Structure 1
Amino acid sequence: MRTTPTLLVLAAGMATRYGSLKQLDSFGPHGETIIDYSVHDALKAGFGKIVFVIRESIREEFEGAMRHQFPTLDNLFYVTQELDHLPAGYQVPENRIKPWGTGHAVWVASSHIQGPFAVINGDDFYGYRSFGLVVDFLRHSTSETEYGLIGFKLENTLSEHGAVSRGLCQLDEEGYLEAVTEQTHIIKTGDGIEAQNPDQEPLQLTGQELVSMNLMVFKPSVFPLFEQGLKEFLEENSTNPNAEFYLPAVVDHAVKTGRAQVKVLETPEKWFGVTYPDDKAVVMRNLQRLVHEGTYPQNLRETHSANSI
């Protein structure tokens, strides 16, 4: 790894099921957001620049929150994701209101990233060891078309309060990704765990399956794949106002067409995050436990104000 990696934080989501701007909601003992902990972990692991993908409508509030939490950092950058941010020659369909999705979010950030980078969701907690796996992978990876995916055990990523979307990973014998399938309705049942898909029989799962939580590791060679994928998506879905261009779909296509290899790196961390309002109390308890155990300082802002991690 010749340069320190960039962290790309996807924070433009609408949070329709949560009911408020969860990217900036308070969860830590001193009002910390989940993003605050992710930035802290990434910097500690060895990341350099942090790039946030946000909406223009929340830009002032978001930038203010980051300046307050990390007053000494000068490596925070912001890019907006809007419906009309499209490749040349493409227009927004008249009936389109829904954001284009996580794949589009990565594409709009391409001009802000010059080296290796990792992508995360702004409302997901990944844990320090997950970011350490990213840095270690990049330190040893030599191919410009070898990417990485931090895999979580499915049982460590479920919500007690409703269904979740997860990308199920299929691996070869050497631990490289063969396919990632987006399951949009995984839920705990009385009999275990099921993926309940429309027009299909329920898929029984053990909980030991590795899933993608959008913590993926890329090099700049990936951006043409996102641009090509976005163009194909726009052409195929011009009349579908609800279709989304998902990040895992780009990775899956790149693997199946032989344009990239993706090493799956299993993290020991337990994910938590906020999909539903009732998830907030769970996140707060988990963070308080980690602070009590000494994993995190009592006050992140004081730590970064002192310019030490």
Structure 2
Amino acid sequence: MKPTLVIMAAGMASRYGSMKQIQQFGPSGETIMDYSIYDAVKAGFGKVVFIIRKDFADDFKAIFEPKLKGRIETEYVYQELDAFMGATPVPADRKKPWGTAHAILCAHNAVSGPFAVINADDFYGEDAFVKANNFLVMECREDLYGIIAYRLANTLSDHGTVSRGVIDEDANNEMVGINERLKVYRDNGQMVDEQGDTKLSIVEEAKASMNFWCFHPSIFPYIREEFAAFLGRSLNDPKAEFLIPFVADQFIKSGRGKIKVIPTNAPWFGVTYKEDAPIVQQKLNGLIGEKTYPNKLW
């Protein structure tokens, strides 16, 4: 069975200010997702599952269905606030989605084998998909998941601070945990994480999680358990989020399994701020000039 690619595209893009998931960046109108799907198909993935909001489903499908038909199987799932809440009502002041781990849970009926998870608005690069596919086919199992790791230094923005999950790994290249750094940027050439009045230095060799995960379907019942516990703790906090790094950390600490750190030399870039958009276009044009991608993907 070929692995499945799950793309999280239900976010509200609050910092960016528009629906950046379907913004066209490529010379022939390609979105960032198009490049991810192109790389995934080339690497050997057999299906793509889009996690989206129901209110922009028609526009979304109109963009992707014509160009993906006959190239890869597609399925759409919706991240709704009341999904997996049972009899618990959604608090009246809850507006934003519950978070990335809840998004994955919403895809459980669309995934039957090993799968990768990525963000819709991040460019991950060909090497990352090749390594993810190889891991999912050859190594992934109930007690061994994977994470594609990028050089933190290559994931910063020139237009503001970024939030990054810095990976802590052991001598066996297995993840020990992820340290959430909420305000990372360069200060006089040094990577720092600003915490109040304190700036903590970060080593240049640090590896970052850009939410490119490799999972076995056994993750779904585990996420469901953790989501119930999350609701018990944070139901009435309108800003609380149920995130993948937290679930991964709990998976390791519970002794249920390990997560392999899979380094990639692929370039990463994304759109956090509107000012990042021209840089993304410039980098894509550079890759096209190097013949990494054709001028028209589909």
TM range (shorter): over 0.9
Correspondences of 1:1-309 after superposition (within 5 Å): 3-73=1-71, 75-141=73-139, 143-198=141-196, 201-301=198-298
Shift of 1:195: 1.3
Q: Aligned-pair distance for 1:74? A: 5.6
TM-score by structure 2 length? 0.97
Give the SS at the match of 1:278.
Answer: helix
8 A Cα contact 2:3 2:137, kept in partner = no
Instruction: In structure 2, give the amino acid aligned to 1:109.
Output: A
Q: Could you tell me how far apart the structure 1 residues matched to 2:56 and 2:39 are? A: 24
Gaps of 5+ in 1: 302-309
CA distance in 1, matches of 2:109, 2:174: 28
Is the CA contact 2:84–2:224 (under 8 Å) kept in the aligned structure 1?
Answer: no
RMSD (Å) for aligned C-alpha atoms: 1.3
CA drift at 1:259: 1.1
Q: 1:73 to 1:139 in 2, by over 3 A?
A: closer
Cα deviation per residue 1:55-98 (whole Å; 9 max; x = unaligned)? 01110000110023324346111001121213323221121112
- Judge conservation of contact 1:56–1:80 (CA < 8 Å) in 2: yes
Q: Residues of 1 paired with 2:137 and 2:48: CA distance?
A: 19
CA distance in 1, matches of 2:52, 2:179: 26
Q: Give the match for residue 305 of structure 1.
A: none
Q: Distance in 1 between matches of 2:92 and 2:10?
A: 21
Separation in structure 1 between the aligned mates of residue 89 and residue 112 of structure 2, nearest angstrom: 27
Which moved further from structure 2: 187-196 or 268-277?
Answer: 187-196
Partner Cα separation in structure 2 for residue 243 and residue 44 of structure 1: 37
- Structure 2 counterpart of 1:304: none
The answer to whether the 8 Å contact 1:186/1:193 transfers is: yes
SS at match of 1:294: coil
SS in 2 for 1:196: strand
* Structure 1 moving runs of 4+ over 4 Å: none
In structure 1, the residue corresponding to 2:218 is in which secondary structure? helix
In 2, the alpha carbon distance for the partners of 1:9 and 1:285 equals: 24
Deviation at 1:245, TM superposition (A): 0.6
SS in 1 for 2:274: coil
Query: Are the aligned partners of 1:168 and 1:180 in contact in 2 as well (CA < 8 Å)?
Result: yes
| Counterpart residue identity of residue 267, structure 1 | T
Of stretches 146-155 and 222-231 in structure 1, the one that deviates more from structure 2 is 222-231
Distance in 2, matches of 1:16 and 1:190, equals 29
Determine helix, strand or coil for the equivalent of 2:267. Answer: coil
Residues 140 and 146 in structure 2, CA contact (< 8 A), matched pair in contact too: no
Provide Cα deviations, 1:22-45, integer angstroms capped at 9, x if missing partner.
Answer: 000011011100000000000100
- Percent of aligned pairs sharing the same letter: 42
Distance between the aligned counterparts of 1:137 and 1:71, measured in 2?
27
